[in-house]
């Protein structure tokens, strides 16, 4: 009877083992037949209840079955692992014949795009691009630019001061300090443009930010006149906004130039007829400019009887707003990808 029981146990165990196709099913089978409380273990523990003459034969048969099932389990486990591995590899296989996914290429920030556009135009007109410090001495930001401490124009800049025991230090309110720095280090002829970030302590609204970008321009040489300034700015405006643009110069005041002018173009949205963008005037002011004040030339050791020059300064964000019809300057610095992705010019 015990021999028949062992044979039946063998057939059942091997049949169930052959049907086990996952690691979980194999673990269940192993616990049922070869585990600490499995059927083979219980069979061996029950040998003591048999008659002495039956124990050797039944014990040998039980041990042989245990060894056979252990070997069969190892073979089946290996086969299951290989099938699972093959299935996982097949599922993860990359079909190299499929078209690739086009990666999303980043773009320049619209302000950076405009800085590059403007500086490239002036580079083709013979100007060199230079940069300067954003933390500046009061001397370069004001004094050397003909704006002494008692000058009323000094209050207009809404300057952000940095605490210092020895010298007046500010976050530069404009890029004009680089006029002085460049002229201190070089002798004419000078033709430079200076892009950079500026800071002012003022309320933020749709047209004002406490930090913004400017591009300063400076040309100094013998016999430079207002005609040179007008021709250069007119060519710049037509390259940036279109050859059909008309330009206008009107008198204005800036402490470091004399005479000073504001430079405007006819509105590209209404073609000079008047609209909301240009305030129904037909003109859009682009920048301020003028002939370098003789005192500024003296401050850097130039002889104003020999050298003349002109300078200009423009707000970069304003140019972007005019070019693309952006209604609020704050959009540029809110980090909203929906807004920035509209400026999809690819990085060169």
pLDDT per position as a tens digit, 180-207: 999 999 999 999 999 999 999 888 888 8
Within 10 angstroms of residue 306's Cβ, the number of other Cβ atoms is 11
Q: Work out the burial of residue 38: count CB atoms within 10 Å of its CB; fewer than 13 is exposed, 13-18 middle, 19 or more buried.
A: middle
Region of 158 (left: φ > 0; alpha: ψ -120 to 50; beta: rest) is left
Query: Long-range pairs for 280-284 at CB < 8 Å and ≥24 separation?
Result: 283/248, 284/322
pLDDT at 153: 65
User: Percent of the chain, pLDDT > 90?
Assistant: 43
- Of 60, 80, 75, 72, give the one whose Cα is nearest residue 13: 72
Go through the chain and tell me how many residues it has: 348
Q: What is the DSSP letter of 107?
A: B
Q: What is the CA radius of gyration of the chain?
A: 42
Q: The tokens 């009877």 sit on which residue?
A: 1
pLDDT per position as a tens digit, 222-270: 999 999 999 999 999 999 988 888 899 999 988 899 999 999 988 877 7
Catalytic residues: 157, 174, 200, 214, 257, 311
Tell me the average pLDDT across 92-115. Answer: 84
């Amino acid at each position: 009877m015990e021999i028949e029981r062992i044979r039946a146990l063998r057939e059942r165990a091997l049949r169930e083992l052959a049907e086990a196709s996952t690691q979980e099913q194999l673990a269940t089978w192993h616990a049922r037949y070869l585990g600490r409380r499995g059927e083979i273990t219980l069979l061996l523990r029950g040998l003591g209840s048999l008659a002495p003459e039956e124990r050797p034969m039944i014990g040998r048969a039980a041990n042989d079955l245990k060894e056979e099932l252990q070997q069969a389990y190892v073979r089946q486990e290996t086969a299951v692992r290989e099938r699972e591995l093959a299935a996982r590899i097949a599922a993860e296989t990359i079909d190299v014949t499929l078209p690739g996914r086009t990666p999303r290429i980043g773009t320049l920030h619209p302000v950076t795009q405009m800085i590059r556009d403007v500086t490239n135009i002036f580079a083709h007109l013979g100007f060199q691009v230079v940069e300067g410090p954003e933390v500046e001495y009061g001397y370069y930001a004001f004094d050397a630019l003909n704006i002494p401490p008692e000058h009323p124009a000094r209050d207009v800049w809404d300057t952000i001061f940095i605490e210092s025991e020895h010298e007046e230090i500010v976050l530069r309110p404009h890029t004009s300090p680089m006029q002085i720095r460049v002229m201190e280090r070089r002798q004419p002829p000078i033709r430079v443009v200076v892009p950079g970030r500026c800071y002012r302590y003022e309320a933020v609204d749709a047209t004002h930010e406490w930090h913004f970008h400017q591009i300063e321009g400076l040309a100094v040489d013998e016999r430079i006149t207002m005609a040179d300034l007008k021709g250069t700015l007119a060519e710049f405006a037509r390259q940036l906004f279109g050859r059909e643009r008309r330009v206008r110069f009107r008198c204005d005041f800036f402490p470091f130039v004399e005479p000073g002018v504001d430079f405007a173009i006819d509105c590209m949205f209404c073609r000079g007829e008047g609209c909301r963008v240009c305030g129904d005037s037909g003109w859009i002011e682009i920048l301020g400019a003028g002939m370098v004040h003789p005192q500024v030339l003296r401050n850097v050791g130039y002889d104003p009887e020999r050298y003349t020059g002109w300078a200009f300064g423009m707000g970069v964000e304003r140019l972007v707003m005019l070019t693309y019809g952006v209604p609020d300057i704050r959009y540029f610095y809110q980090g909203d990808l929906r807004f920035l992705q509209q400026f999809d010019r690819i990085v060169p």
